[in-house]
Amino acid sequence: MKKILLISDTHSFIDAQILKFVKQADEVWHAGDIGDLKVTDAIKELKPLRAVFGNIDDQYARAEFPLDAKYEVENVRIWMTHIGGYPNNYNRRIREELKTDTPTIFISGHSHILKVQYDKKLNLLHLNPGAAGNHGFHKVRTMLRFELSEGSVKNLEIIELAQRG
């Protein structure tokens, strides 16, 4: 079993509140718009990190992290990208490949809107953790945490950090 913390859209912001949850996870996944790499460096000092770059990320983040990350953890297939859309409205860039290389969990960020939605057509779980940073229109900073075990997702929780500062 692995405890996963899923964050996105930090936009160069990291604080003790985020790091408290990082310490409780086995792995941290960042779905893009990292901003300053001090964010991912702080996470990597504490826990293993998987991340993708987002549309605001500079050449340094793009050199360190991929546009798409596909991997398997605890027999669960994951596809993470920053701009991915959501069920019935996936981004054009990935729409066809998502049908032929369907993961168990599809993760995207970008919208700053926390969304957990099951796609019945593709038989996958779509996760968007919202935004953990202070930049954007969202009012509450959010993340997701869950456990992966023996091919399934368990104990999925929404974490509301605080009002955006």
Q: What is the pLDDT of residue 13?
A: 95
Low-confidence ranges of the chain (pLDDT < 50): none
Q: What is the pLDDT of residue 62?
A: 98
Q: What is the pLDDT of residue 164?
A: 61
pTM, full prediction: 0.96
Which residue, 133, 131, 127, is CA-closest to 156?
127
pLDDT tens per residue, range 18-48: 999 999 999 999 999 999 999 999 999 999 9
Q: What is the pLDDT of residue 136?
A: 81
Q: What is the pLDDT of residue 120?
A: 97
DSSP codes joined into one string, 15-71: -HHHHHHHHH-SEEEE-S---STHHHHHHHHHS-EEE---TT--HHHHHHS-SEEEE
Q: What is the pLDDT of residue 165?
A: 56
Structure tokens at 135: 């930049």
What 3-state class would DSSP assign to 84?
coil
Which residue, 73, 17, 71, 59, is CA-closest to 42?
17
Q: What is the pLDDT of residue 138?
A: 83
